[in-house]
């Protein structure tokens, strides 16, 4: 029987994300010049595994099955973020967080440093444990999202590696009740209205990328870098239910709210977006946080997330 004096750390089930990335690298095999056979191009296939876990101490537990937690009386939540890699190279990861229906900066404290996001190095084979503290949240019940993605090195000349880095993204979420009476922070509440988006065709099978940015309404040219003001966002909702969603633009790693939309089930839908006032210096990413319009029979709050690649600013 476990000693109750020690903290029992559990893994939030929904936040366990295992992503497999297939990295394809082309290599030219040059034959001896005396050999009359032509050059041969082969494709090497490598499986990369990235595992993300959020561990929250039982001191903060309300109901594990409902992903429900609460802060201490000072309004703080302490947890551990664990990243495990089995990849080809050491890599840098960025970690940040938001509250649903709010774009206020959510400050995270790691190793005494309190800021909007943190960058750390993960070995190519092994794990990193990051202890973090959330504080300063408005009193009440919230849904908290923890994100991590690969840091993109713009000095990398390997275009294939850049594209793969743009796709690498992980998220976790949980319900958090903040019980700090001394906190005067308030949410930037949004209007409770959602705009329907038009279905253009049936969705295709789901992938880790489900938001795509195009230059034209005909969806003929996908955007590789941001240089204009107006684009068209293709939403691939491959799920079998309608989504009520909050669409965010992450300028670098700061959230900007764009739209509140209703996305039909099993649909590909298009939404015009205006990036005239974006504040990004290096890159952007779209994230759609959604929940079913008809609540499913589950003990925990169901949230679905669609995301785009991280797109550089030209």
Strands 17-29 and 9-11: unpaired
Residue 1 lies in a domain: no
Residues 157 and 268 in one domain: no
Residues 47 and 146 in one domain: yes
Residues 155 and 44 in one domain: yes
Range of the domain at 154: 9-27+40-178
At 29, list the tokens: 């095999």
Q: Which long-range contacts (CB under 8 A, 24 or more apart) does 204-207 make?
A: 204/236, 204/238, 204/268, 205/238, 206/236, 206/238, 206/239, 207/236
CA–CA separation, 72 and 259 (whole Å)? 34
Q: Single out the residue of 229, 247, 97 nearest to residue 171, CA to CA.
A: 97
The answer to whether residues 58 and 9 touch, using CB atoms and an 8 Å cutoff, is yes
Residues 101 and 237 in one domain: no
b/e sequence 13-36, b meaning 16+ C-beta within 10 Å: eebeeeeebeeeeeeeeeeeeeee
Q: For position 84, which CATH number holds?
A: 2.60.40.10
Residues 135 and 262 in one domain: no
CA–CA separation, 269 and 265 (whole Å)? 10
Residues 207 and 164 in one domain: no
Residue 116 lies in a domain: yes
Q: How many independent structural domains does the chain possess?
A: 2
**Domain stops at, among 178, 205, 222:** 178
What is the sign of the dihedral through the CA atoms of 213, 280, 102 and 106?
A: positive
Residues 265 and 156 in one domain: no
pLDDT tens per residue, range 93-140: 999 999 988 887 789 999 999 999 999 999 999 999 999 999 988 889
DSSP SS3 for 285? strand
Cβ–Cβ contacts within 10 Å for residue 83, how many? 21
Which range is least confidently modeled, 244-248, 289-293, 298-302?
298-302
pTM comes to 0.81
pLDDT tens per residue, range 41-96: 444 556 889 999 999 999 999 998 899 999 999 999 999 999 999 999 999 999 99
Residues 19 and 168 in one domain: yes
Going by pLDDT thresholds of 50, 70 and 90, the confidence category of residue 33 is very low
At 273, list the tokens: 């977006």
What's the whole-number average pLDDT of the chain? 82
Residue 34 lies in a domain: no
Residues 200 and 281 in one domain: yes
Q: Single out the residue of 132, 118, 120 nearest to residue 60, CA to CA.
A: 132
DSSP SS3 for 217? coil
Strands 195-196 and 254-263: parallel
β-bridge mates for residue 251, sequence order: 254, 284
Residue 236 lies in a domain: yes
Tally of residues, the chain: 314
Q: So what's the pLDDT on residue 95?
A: 96
CA–CA separation, 55 and 39 (whole Å)? 52
Residues 234 and 121 in one domain: no
């Amino acid at each position: 029987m476990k000693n109750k004096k020690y903290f029992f750390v559990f893994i939030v089930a929904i936040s366990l994300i295992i992503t497999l990335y297939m990295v394809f690298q082309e290599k030219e095999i040059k034959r001896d010049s005396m050999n009359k056979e032509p050059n041969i191009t082969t494709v090497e296939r490598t499986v990369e595994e990235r595992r993300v876990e959020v561990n929250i101490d039982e001191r903060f537990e309300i109901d594990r099955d409902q992903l429900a937690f609460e802060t201490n009386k000072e309004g703080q939540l302490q947890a551990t973020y664990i990243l495990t890699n089995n990849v080809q190279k050491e890599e840098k990861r960025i970690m940040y967080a938001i509250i649903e229906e709010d774009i206020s900066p959510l400050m995270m404290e790691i190793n005494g440093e309190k800021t909007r996001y943190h960058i750390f190095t993960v070995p190519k084979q092994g794990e990193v444990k990051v202890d973090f503290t959330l504080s300063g949240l408005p009193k009440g019940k919230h849904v908290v999202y923890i994100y991590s993605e690969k840091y993109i090195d713009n000095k990398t000349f390997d275009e294939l590696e850049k594209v793969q880095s743009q796709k690498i993204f992980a998220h976790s979420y949980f319900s958090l009740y903040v019980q700090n009476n001394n906190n005067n922070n308030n949410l930037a509440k949004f209007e409770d209205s959602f705009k329907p988006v038009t279905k253009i065709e049936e969705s295709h099978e789901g992938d880790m990328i489900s938001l795509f940015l195009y230059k034209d309404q005909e969806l003929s040219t996908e955007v590789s870098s941001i240089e204009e003001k107006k684009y068209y966002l293709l939403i691939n909702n491959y799920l079998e239910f309608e989504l009520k969603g909050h669409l965010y633009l992450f300028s670098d790693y700061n959230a900007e709210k764009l739209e509140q939309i209703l996305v039909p089930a099993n649909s590909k839908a298009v939404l015009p977006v205006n990036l005239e006032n974006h504040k990004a210096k290096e890159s952007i990413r779209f994230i759609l946080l959604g929940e079913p319009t008809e609540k499913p029979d589950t003990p925990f709050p169901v949230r679905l997330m669609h995301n785009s690649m991280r797109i550089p600013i030209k």
